[in-house]
Chains A and B, each alone.
Chain A
């Protein structure tokens, strides 16, 4: 039986169909989850995709953090359900307090869209177990409010406990503190990052590599990792 991975759609979500496609390419079944429906339909994991949920009103991710489906996800995440937040999904995780800190306007004030090199710094999560520690990967980045910010105390804890999952390499695109691109929670089941793994899952449609144009599929391992974690659970 294939794994069921839920992909949430809020009003204003943009990358839900790409995330569903990534789930399918990785070999699982994508289950669409609707913001107003608190039923998670017995999925084995959840992806909160990118976009501009609720028009970024109030703050990015703030209203989505209060949605019925998010309430159910918070409860399930606290019970160990693997949850991946990408871009706006990362903002939703932060606003839901499933991950600490906040995300503010990019330092240079510009929306940035480019292929971004990252270092995978934590592979003890269901979303990163197929990577090698400190592996360098390239996946697309596209955000206007991706500057990670946290109190000194929180930063110290994140670094001390090894909760930084991804760090920007070759230039910090948005002024994120400590070059943080993504985090995991203490338990490891919740992972959030600003760059977009779901846009780097199929040769011909990913970032350029040394081998060929658009052949980069580093993002696929996020999705094969969670399938691997679920199979071995």
Chain B
């Protein structure tokens, strides 16, 4: 199934409490080399036809205007899968 993947991450400067809690847990279970964990969102936009360049451009726009909030998050990737 063709899909566009939009990945959103909290801005670097913001505290990511989820990531911090997961990192603490990993350290407790012996994964000492992992220095930090940050958690964002992967959003899949599904299509029942091949994805076009216009779809990707639209997804980028949706990503920046709706799926993320530019004050607190960044769209870090918009990619196509299974096209």
Count chain A CB atoms within 10 A of each CB in B15, B71, B72 and give the residue with the most: B71
Instruction: Give the interface residue-count category, chain B.
Output: under 10
Q: What is the minimal beta-carbon distance from A88 to any residue of chain B, in angstroms? A: 15
The majority secondary structure among interface residues of chain A is: loop
The majority secondary structure among interface residues of chain B is: loop
A-B CB contacts (within 8 Å), total count: 23
Q: Which of A98-106, A126-134, A157-165 forms part of the interface with chain B? A: A98-106
Count chain A CB atoms within 10 A of each CB in B14, B15, B66, B69 and give the residue with the most: B69
Report Cα–Cα, A95/B69, bound state, in Å.
8
Q: What chain B residues lie within 8 Å of A102 (beta carbons)?
A: 69, 71-72
Report Cα–Cα, A107/B14, bound state, in Å.
10
Contact residues of B between 1 and 34, Cβ < 8 Å to A: 14-15, 17
B71 touches A62 (CB 8 A): no
A149 touches B66 (CB 8 A): no
Q: What chain B residues lie within 8 Å of A58 (beta carbons)?
A: 66-67
Look across to chain B and name the residue whose beta carbon is closest to the beta carbon of A65: B66
- Can you pick out 23 interface pairs between chain A and chain B where the beta carbons lie within 8 Å of each other? A58-B66, A58-B67, A59-B69, A59-B72, A62-B66, A62-B69, A66-B66, A95-B69, A101-B71, A102-B69, A102-B71, A102-B72, A104-B14, A104-B72, A105-B15, A105-B17, A107-B15, A109-B17, A149-B14, A149-B71, A149-B72, A150-B71, A151-B71
Q: List B residues at the A interface (Cβ < 8 Å).
A: 14-15, 17, 66-67, 69, 71-72
Can you add 19 more A-B contacts, CB < 8 Å, to A102-B72, A109-B17? A58-B66, A58-B67, A59-B69, A59-B72, A62-B66, A66-B66, A95-B69, A101-B71, A102-B69, A102-B71, A104-B72, A105-B15, A105-B17, A107-B15, A149-B14, A149-B71, A149-B72, A150-B71, A151-B71
